[in-house]
C-alpha cells in the first residue's frame, strides 16, 4: 500500500489537532481554578 505515508502524516496532523484542542481547553479551565 502506498498510502502509509499519507496515513502517517494524517496521524501527525490529528495528534497536533488534539494537542491544540487540549491546550485551548486548558486555557479555558485555568482562570476558573
* 5-11 contacts at long range (C-beta below 8 A, 24 or more positions apart): none
CA 7 to chain centre: 15
Listed residue (1, 5, 28) closest to 13, CA to CA: 5
Q: What are phi and psi of 2, to 5 degrees?
A: -95, 5
Mean pLDDT (whole number) for 11-26: 84
Share of the chain above pLDDT 70, in %: 73
CA distance 28 to 2: 41
pLDDT at 30: 61
pLDDT at 33: 56
CA 24 to chain centre: 11
pLDDT at 26: 76
Provide the pLDDT confidence category of residue 31 given band limits of 50, 70 and 90: low
Mean pLDDT (whole number) for 27-33: 64
pTM here? 0.51
Amino acid at each position: 500500500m502506498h498510502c502509509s505515508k499519507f496515513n502517517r502524516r494524517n496521524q501527525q496532523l490529528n495528534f497536533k489537532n488534539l494537542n491544540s484542542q487540549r491546550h485551548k481547553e486548558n486555557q479555558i479551565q485555568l482562570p476558573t481554578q
